[in-house]
């Protein structure tokens, strides 16, 4: 009976680890209004497209805060390189918004979107 409990515990532990390692798609979805990464990304893209740089800057801050809320949830289930790539894209995007460079800002947004879609693949 003791060995049955031991094997059941080990099997449960493995199941929990497998769930955590494969849950990136589940955990990257928004849990509230403050961490909807794709919503803020689309808002920033719309702002940049019509040259609303002040609003783009405000929405960029919301995008960045949303990303910082998502990272702790997905860090064990996605590759670190993808997280770092999105971090770099967001840093570059901030510079593009500050310098009001529409072409480069849209480029960084699209690259960040591709990395977002590649999380947990």
Q: Say if CB 41 and CB 109 are below 8 A apart.
A: yes
CB atoms within 10 A of CB 30: 15
Helix, coil or strand: residue 56: helix
pLDDT tens-digit readout, 88-97 = 999 999 999 9
pTM for this predicted structure: 0.82
Q: How confident is the model over 5-21, as a mean pLDDT?
A: 88
Residue 62 lies in domain:
2-118
CATH number where 112 lies = 1.20.120
Number of domains in the chain: 1
């Amino acid at each position: 009976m003791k060995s049955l409990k031991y094997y059941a515990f080990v099997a449960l532990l493995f199941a929990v680890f497998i769930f955590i390692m494969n849950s990136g798609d589940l955990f990257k979805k928004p849990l509230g209004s403050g961490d909807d990464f794709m919503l803020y990304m689309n808002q920033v893209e719309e702002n940049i497209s019509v040259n609303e740089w002040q609003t783009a800057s405000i929405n960029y801050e919301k995008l960045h805060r949303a990303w910082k809320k998502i990272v702790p949830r997905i860090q064990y289930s996605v590759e670190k390189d993808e997280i770092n790539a999105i971090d770099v894209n967001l840093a570059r995007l901030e510079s593009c918004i500050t310098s009001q460079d529409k072409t480069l800002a849209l480029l960084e947004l699209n690259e960040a979107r591709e990395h977002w879609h590649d999380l947990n693949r």
